[in-house]
Amino acid sequence: MKRRRDASWTTTNICGIDVANLTQDEALSFIERLIDEDGPHYAAVVNAAKIVLANEDAALKQELLDADVVTADGMSVVWASHLLGRGIKQRVTGIDLFERLVERAALRGWAVYFLGASEESVERLTERFKELHSTLRVAGWHNGYFDRSRSEAISAEIKSSGAALLFVAMGSPAQEHWIGSNLTASGVRFAMGVGGSFDHLSGLSRRAPIWMQRSGLEWFYRLMREPRRLWRRYLFGNAKFAILVIRQRLLSRNRQEVQE
């Protein structure tokens, strides 16, 4: 599916994925313009683990390439962009974009739909956003624990709800696969995968302190909280990402030498 590209901003190719060189404000402004147009459109965010996975999962890679905009969710992606010679301005996380888009939805009158996480998490998230934004129109919500054979019925439910914005919290690559397969059928103008944001914003899970977020140490905070579950992911995943970036850097340098 051909997606829109905006000539006002550039991308940096990181291991085969084009990541937008945008600040958070610029990304938000671009997404608002997308929502004002006829849809459907969608945004994605990437960290080191997702880029590694995209290099192993052809469907995920295509879904990221098809997105209207892909931003750097992890600081490792920002650091890699500088190593590759086309530095990205700023880390633009999925959870921060999610919060700001819900705020904009309340101001603009866009109806939102929340899909994913546990029933408790999505319900608490919905109530929290309603408390924060009294004018927010919540078209509906559904937990993420359903058989994928029900995706067609859930897409129809989202469409009949009149939702303009859809936020999917299923983790990667499940959320990207679901959006890629069901975006058009859902009838929304815009969708975005938001990973574990429902759990964080509902209060069921803690996000790293601000200073760790700004220092690019959120991954370390999560590792300390869940070492048994995450140590393999960060040890091997980060090593794979580093190898991919170094390989890309070397190939780029070799091409430059040949051209010279």
pLDDT digits (tens, 9 = 90+) for 25-41: 999 999 999 999 877 99
Given a cut of 60, whether residue 112 has pLDDT beyond it is yes
- Whole-number pLDDT of residue 142: 98
What percent of the chain has a predicted confidence (pLDDT) above 90? 75
pLDDT digits (tens, 9 = 90+) for 140-158: 999 999 998 999 999 999 9
Given a cut of 50, whether residue 2 has pLDDT beyond it is no
CA distance 33 to 46: 22
Q: Where are the domains of the chain?
A: 11-214
Whether the upstream peptide bond of residue 227 has omega within 30° of 0, thus cis, is no
4 vs 79, higher pLDDT: 79
227 vs 152, higher pLDDT: 152
- Determine contact, residues 151/181, Cβ cutoff 8 Å: yes
Encode burial over 23-42: b for 16+ CB neighbours within 10 A, e otherwise. bbebbbebbeebbeeebbbb
Torsion from C-alpha of 164, 165, 168, 169, nearest 10 degrees? -140
- Determine contact, residues 201/146, Cβ cutoff 8 Å: no
pLDDT digits (tens, 9 = 90+) for 184-195: 999 999 999 999
Could you tell me the fold of the domain covering 11-214?
Answer: Rossmann fold (3.40.50)
Q: Which residues pair with 190 in a beta bridge?
A: 41, 165
CB atoms inside a 10 Å sphere around CB 247: 11
CA distance 15 to 74: 14
- Determine contact, residues 11/63, Cβ cutoff 8 Å: no
CA distance 132 to 100: 12
pLDDT digits (tens, 9 = 90+) for 170-220: 999 999 999 999 999 999 999 999 999 999 999 877 766 776 666 666 766
